[in-house]
Amino acid sequence: MMIEIPPGWLLIAGAIIIAMSRGAVRQIATLGLPLLALVMIWTLPEGAGWQVRLLDYRLSPLEFTAVGKVFATVFALMAFVGGVFAMRTASRMELSAAFLYAGSAIGITSSGDLVTLFVYWEMMALGSTAVLIASGTARAYKASMRYLLMHAFGGFVLLAGIVWHAYTTGSIEFTKIEIQGPAQWLILIGFLVNVGAPPFSAWIADAYPEASPTGAVFLSAFTTKTAVFTLLVAFPGTGILIPLGCFMIFYGIIYALLENDSRRILSYSIVNQVGFMVTGIGIGTEMALNGAASHAFAHIIYKALLLMSAGAVLYQTGKSRCTDLGGLYQSMPLTTICGTIGALAISSFPFTSGFISKSMIAQSAAYEHITWVWFLLAAASAGVFLHAGIKYPWFVFFQKDSGLRPSDPPKHMQLAMVVLAFICIFLGVFPQPLYDILPYPVKYEPYTADHLVTQFQLLLFAGLAFFLLLPMMKRTETISLDLDWFYRKLFPGFYKMIAGFVSTIYSASYRFIVSQFPTSIRKFYTQHQGPKDYFHKLYHSETMVLCVVVMLASYLILFYF
């Protein structure tokens, strides 16, 4: 019998082992620990858990549920296959950070209280930031700082909501939360930051393409999907999620169609696909929630496959812009096949994993008579086929001959892609194993004549539209403005302008005062800020800390008396 500990702890321990080892030990930890975690996930019975007491609250570091099992399974599987893909090419820092990242994500799936969840939430932010930094480029470092600031903001909002919720309700249980006031709204917003909902969508396409070819694979798997998991547990049936999800769907499609960089196309596609899940959670029926969970499972697999193929191209050619690529099918046949399978899966092509999961969400909208949502999801399916199903493989692997003749990537990368491509096809042909682990009983048959005909009509229409409009689809060097322009350009520029203005006023005032009162100013400077004064020997930060400590101590003494 397995010891009942949170499975994520194994991968967090693995992060330490990988950071301190090399050679065979590191490879064994990279491949063995995710598999051991997967065994533990499937050995733990539903309802397994234990609690510890903290002050007046009970923490539940392990509380295993049906929906947690679905997400923990695919997270552990992704950690294993991602480890295979990155095993001989990723740096030690990147692998270690990726395991901390994956272990924290699995920890969230087994959390029974909001405090434990928040701890894992912040560990996940640190791990993912380190994965970005490990890329080693200046662009990656700048992107990682913006990424960290965005998630620090989301974490602060989430913490404020948790504290307020605990104060007003007396509960920190991680379960369905009824929105009764600002506290619950803050928790919801904290989750929505990580899910990439508007107006917080731009950080995904800003950060993920700057990671290394292997790091982007890990980044695509965990952050947004753990946020989907938290929404599914805490806010099922919350109506505001339906329009938010629909906005994400079309936001991702439009920006992906405009984009030239292959990895940015796939990053915008993450927002698009997560939008389907958020919409399903907003609908809130058992079928919709099953659809959101199954689509998250399928999405992690085919999105990782797509980013592996794009990463393999980048690794072999050093290029990721569509305008620099083309004709790679001639020298990278395996990468082309795997990338095409991933493109078909994300497009919900019949007999792929996307077909048996995404359709559940659209069908649940039809059953609930939310007609406008059904029409939007149908139109979105065609849009996904345009930007990810056709555009990505066409411009990267086919289209014009770029003259590049790279070979397929190293064997371990090929093996990882083949494994994920097999899973995409297997789940599409035999969906029952996935349906069996979903949180609610599944009463849905994807392969009906009506569904097949409708889907083929959508895909054929989208394909015809793409090739008829091919001259318009050809990409050029572009800059797509998004809401991140405000905190990347406008706010820093405004800050520099204000800082320059204040500095000018200060300098002018100082010169005026010194010119009018030279003797008294010099005397004051010598007595209080001269080179022999005590405070002058300290750095400014130390001086401020000392002042704060003195003020705090004085306040405590006065308060005591």
522 inside domain: no
C-beta separation of 249 from 272 below 8 A: yes
Q: Indicate whether 540 pLDDT > 70.
A: no
For residue 473, name the pLDDT band (cuts at 50, 70, 90): low
| Separation of alpha carbons 62 and 47, rounded Å | 9
Average pLDDT, the chain: 87
Q: Indicate whether 99 pLDDT > 90.
A: yes
Q: How far from each other are the two terminal CA atoms of the chain, in whole angstroms?
A: 59
For residue 246, name the pLDDT band (cuts at 50, 70, 90): very high
What percent of the chain is predicted at pLDDT more than 90?
A: 54
159 inside domain: yes
Least confident of 310-314, 349-353, 459-463: 459-463
Return the pLDDT at 161.
95
Q: Indicate whether 1 pLDDT > 50.
A: no
Coil, strand, or helix at residue 327?
coil
Q: HEC string of 328-390?
A: HHHCCHHHHHHHHHHHHHHCCCCCCHHHHHHHHHHHHHHHCCCHHHHHHHHHHHHHHHHHHHH
What percent of the chain is predicted at pLDDT more than 70?
A: 92
**Which comes out higher in pLDDT, residue 512 or 208?**
208
Closest CA to 357 of 444, 421, 275, 423: 444
Coil, strand, or helix at residue 68?
helix
Return the pLDDT at 523.
62
| Residue span of the structural domain in which 491 resides | 485-516
Q: Indicate whether 130 pLDDT > 90.
A: yes
Please give the C-alpha separations between residue 211 and each of 120, 131, 226, 320, 335, in angstroms, as whole numbers: 22, 7, 20, 12, 20
Query: Do 172 and 298 belong to one domain?
Result: no
Query: Do 37 and 131 belong to one domain?
Result: yes
**Which comes out higher in pLDDT, residue 387 or 515?**
387
Q: Torsion over CA of 545, 119, 269 and 488, rounded to 10 degrees?
A: -10
Q: Indicate whether 125 pLDDT > 50.
A: yes
Please write the tens of the pLDDT for every residue from 206-237. Answer: 999 999 999 999 999 999 999 999 999 999 99
Return the pLDDT at 537.
53
Query: Do 245 and 198 belong to one domain?
Result: no
Please write the tens of the pLDDT for every residue from 17-47. Answer: 999 988 889 899 999 999 999 999 998 887 7
Q: Indicate whether 54 pLDDT > 80.
A: no
66 inside domain: yes
Q: Is 476 exposed, middle or buried (0-12, 13-18, 19+ CB in 10 A)?
A: exposed
503 inside domain: yes
Q: Which two structure tokens, joined as six digits, stand for 540?
A: 């400014």
Q: Indicate whether 197 pLDDT > 70.
A: yes
256 CB contacts (<8 Å, ≥6 apart)?
264, 265, 266, 268, 269, 272, 387, 388, 391
**Which comes out higher in pLDDT, residue 353 or 461?**
353
| Separation of alpha carbons 200 and 158, rounded Å | 14
Beta-bridge partner residues of 132: none
Return the pLDDT at 501.
86
Q: Which two structure tokens, joined as six digits, stand for 367?
A: 């059953």
Question: Scanning the structure block, which residue is given the tokens 């609930």?
Answer: 368
215 inside domain: no
Least confident of 82-96, 156-170, 484-498, 518-532: 518-532
Query: Do 421 and 510 belong to one domain?
Result: no
Cβ neighbours around 302 below 10 Å, total: 28
Crossing angle of helices 138-169 and 114-133, rounded to 10°: 180
Q: Is 547 exposed, middle or buried (0-12, 13-18, 19+ CB in 10 A)?
A: exposed
Query: Do 384 and 304 belong to one domain?
Result: yes
218 inside domain: no
**Which comes out higher in pLDDT, residue 470 or 517?**
470
Query: Do 79 and 10 belong to one domain?
Result: yes
224 inside domain: no
Return the pLDDT at 539.
52
Query: Do 391 and 327 belong to one domain?
Result: yes
Q: Indicate whether 529 pLDDT > 60.
A: no
Own/partner pairs, 51-54, CB within 8 angstroms, 24+ separation: 51/112, 54/115
Tell whether the torsion through CA atoms of 271, 151, 166 and 48 is positive or negative.
positive
Query: Do 310 and 197 belong to one domain?
Result: no
Least confident of 50-64, 71-85, 284-298: 50-64
C-beta separation of 361 from 279 below 8 A: yes
Query: Do 505 and 533 belong to one domain?
Result: no
Query: Do 251 and 400 belong to one domain?
Result: yes
449 inside domain: yes
State the average pLDDT over residues 254-283: 92
Return the pLDDT at 2.
47
Split into its structural domains, the chain has a count of 4
Return the pLDDT at 56.
76
| Separation of alpha carbons 428 and 535, rounded Å | 70
**Which comes out higher in pLDDT, residue 458 or 191?**
191
Q: Where are the beta strands (DSSP E) in 192-304?
A: none
Query: Do 12 and 124 belong to one domain?
Result: yes
| Separation of alpha carbons 60 and 224, rounded Å | 23
Query: Do 270 and 140 belong to one domain?
Result: no
Please give the C-alpha separations between residue 441 and each of 66, 286, 359, 404, 436, in angstroms, as whole numbers: 11, 8, 16, 50, 8
C-beta separation of 225 from 269 below 8 A: no
